[in-house]
Structure 1
Amino acid sequence: MDTNGIPSRLRAADTDRERVVSLIQAAGGEGRLTLEEVEERLGTVYSTKYTDELAALTADLPKPVPKRRLVAFGHPAVRIHLAVAVVLSVLLIVRWTASGTPFFWPAMPMFWLAMSVLVHARVRGARRRFEPEEGFAVA
């Protein structure tokens, strides 16, 4: 036990073991480990009791690269554009409701507002992907 009363070694849960198994299998699939090493490590994974033992099994493997989330409306200018488009759409719907016209005429302006926001988000996303780095464009 450490000074806070928390055990210095934590017992491994099944989810911890499965996470390590997937890392080892991926490393085997990439050719980083031989078939014998994969079998040996998988046997060890299922017999471990503590999380620090699990960490030792993948210490010599590269850490997995976190997947990047696609942020379509991440730029502040695009979010402002989206907010303005929503407010205008609401105003168009209120105007249509007050006019009593049976045909839903705000559909066309709302469509073009939505298209303008999508194009703006696409352009901002393209700018972010191709920012210059030491004189070269990065894809």
Structure 2
Amino acid sequence: MDTNGIPSRLRAADADRERVASLIQAAGGEGRLTLEEVEDRLGTVYSTKYTDELDALTSDLPKATPKRRPVVFGHPAVRIHLAVAVVLSVLLIVRWTVSGVPFFWPAMPMFWLAMSVLVHARVRSRFRRGGGIAVA
């Protein structure tokens, strides 16, 4: 124990072991580890007692990068706007097909629908980054 009463070594939980095991399996799947190394490390993972021993098993592997959501259409309001624009575009195309007019007149409304979705996505991404309009 250290001076604060916290143990100097923390015991590993099952969730810690599973996290490290998935990292090792992913590294084996990528070809960073041989099959024997994967088997040895997985055997060691499930027999460890402390978290510092788990950290040593993945110290030579690259750190996993978290997956990011797409920024452009990430906000639910933008996705709803996009869905409405797609439905309206389909309805415009169906109406054009039924009308029998040779000129593709839905092009202009579809263009403005697309522009409205892109502007909406741009505004939402600007507010997400903190560059929105300041209200006094």
Give me the TM-score of the superposition, normalised by structure 1: 0.55
Structure 2 residue runs of 5 or longer lacking an equivalent are 79-112, 127-136
In the alignment, is residue 9 of structure 1 matched against residue 9 of structure 2?
A: yes
Q: Secondary structure at the match of 2:32?
A: coil
Quote the Cα distance in structure 2 between the aligned partners of 1:120 and 1:39.
52
Counterpart residue number, 1:63: 63
2:49 counterpart residue number? 49
In structure 1, give the amino acid aligned to 2:44.
Answer: T
Whole-angstrom distance in 2 between the partners of 1:20 and 1:43:
12
Shift of 1:121: 3.8
Question: What SS is found at the alignment partner of 1:4?
Answer: coil
Aligned residues: 92
The Cα shift of 1:71 comes to 3.4
Q: Contact 1:28–1:35 (CA<8 Å) still a contact in 2?
A: yes
Match of 2:106 in 1: none
Amino acid at match of 1:22: S
What SS does structure 1 have at the residue aligned with 2:41? helix
Supply the distance in 2 between the matched residues of 1:20 and 1:41 (Cα, whole angstroms): 10
Question: Under a length normalisation based on structure 2, what TM-score does the superposition of the two structures give?
Answer: 0.56
Distance 1:121 1:61 in 2: 41
For 1:117 and 1:51, locate their aligned partners in 2 and report how far apart those are by CA, in whole Å: 51
* Whole-angstrom distance in 2 between the partners of 1:72 and 1:64: 24
Q: How far apart are the structure 1 equivalents of 2:3 and 2:73?
A: 46
| Matched residue type, 2:119 | H
In 2 relative to 1, CA 10–117 (structure 1 residues): closer, same or farther, beyond 3 Å? Answer: farther
Runs of at least 5 residues in structure 1 that lack an aligned partner in the other structure: 80-113, 129-139
Q: Does 1:119 align with 2:118?
A: yes
Q: Could you list the per-position Cα deviations for residues 29-77 of structure 1 after superposition, in whole angstroms to 9, with x for gaps in the alignment?
A: 0000000000000000000000000000000000001111333478xxx
Deviation at 1:118, TM superposition (A): 2.5
- Identical amino acids, percent of aligned pairs: 76
Task: Write the distance in 2 (CA, Å) between the matches of 1:23 and 1:30.
Answer: 11
User: Relative to 1, partners in 2 of residues 1:72 and 1:57: Cα closer, same or farther, differing over 3 Å?
Assistant: same
1:73 and 1:30 mapped to 2: Cα distance? 30
1:37 matched to 2:37? The reply is yes
RMSD in angstroms over aligned alpha carbons?
A: 3.4
Q: 1:25: which partner in 2?
A: 25
